[in-house]
């Protein structure tokens, strides 16, 4: 294939989604770009914004396919990082547009850990709205664009609260969540 990445990150996410589907890979877009595709509010003022890097999640079974996919789309694989961290995360770079692509394997781990195993097999190019919401809520130090993304997602996807009070102590025992809950 050996094409070049598109300058616009949203158009590029669409190109990547088509290639992933063609190769039978369950590659799911995360982050602001994923919210942009899921939420009409993110595509118009006052919540419209620019996007930079692209973040994805995959099941471990798709790791080899993703390692082949991104170079075929014009991305440079960070061989050293992918060798050392590739069981958890893969890293690719678009030198033409100065954009990085992070691919999380089974688990999204930033400020907190979100286990995505068994939650990536649905249709569509993005993680589910609930997983997009979790990926934003887990951020320890939010910035303006994270808040804009959250507002867009919540405007377009009604939240049904079904929280088991019995599960809260188990969640709060996790060290990182305790730190955030205390402030």
What are the structural domains, with CATH classification, of the chain?
9-182 (3.30.460)
Q: Which two tokens stand for residue 2?
A: 């050996």
Q: Which residues pair with 107 in a beta bridge?
A: 115
pLDDT at 175: 55
Q: Which residue, chain included where needed, has tokens 């440079």?
A: 76
pLDDT at 162: 58
| Rg of the chain in Å (alpha carbons) | 17
pLDDT at 138: 86
Residues of the chain with pLDDT under 70: 1-2, 161-183
Pairing of strands 113-115, 107-109: antiparallel
User: What is the value of pTM for the model shown?
Assistant: 0.85
pLDDT at 18: 97
pLDDT at 87: 94
What sign does the dihedral 170-120-159-10 (CA atoms) show?
positive
């Amino acid at each position: 294939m050996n094409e070049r990445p598109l300058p616009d990150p949203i158009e590029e996410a669409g190109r990547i989604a088509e290639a992933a589907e063609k190769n039978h890979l369950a590659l799911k877009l995360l982050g602001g770009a994923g919210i942009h595709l899921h939420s009409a509010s993110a595509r118009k003022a006052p919540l419209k914004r620019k996007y930079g890097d692209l973040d994805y999640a995959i099941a471990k079974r798709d790791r080899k396919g993703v390692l082949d996919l991104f170079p075929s789309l014009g991305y440079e694989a960070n061989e050293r990082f992918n060798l050392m961290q590739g069981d958890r995360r893969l890293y690719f770079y678009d030198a033409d547009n100065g954009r990085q692509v992070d691919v999380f394997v089974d688990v999204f781990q930033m400020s907190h850990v979100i286990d995505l195993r068994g939650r990536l097999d649905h249709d569509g190019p993005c993680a589910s709205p609930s997983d997009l919401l979790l990926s934003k809520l887990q951020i320890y130090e939010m910035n303006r664009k994270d808040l804009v993304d959250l507002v867009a997602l919540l405007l377009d996807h009604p939240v049904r609260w079904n929280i088991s009070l019995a599960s809260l102590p188990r969640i709060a025992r996790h060290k990182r969540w305790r730190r955030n809950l205390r402030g």
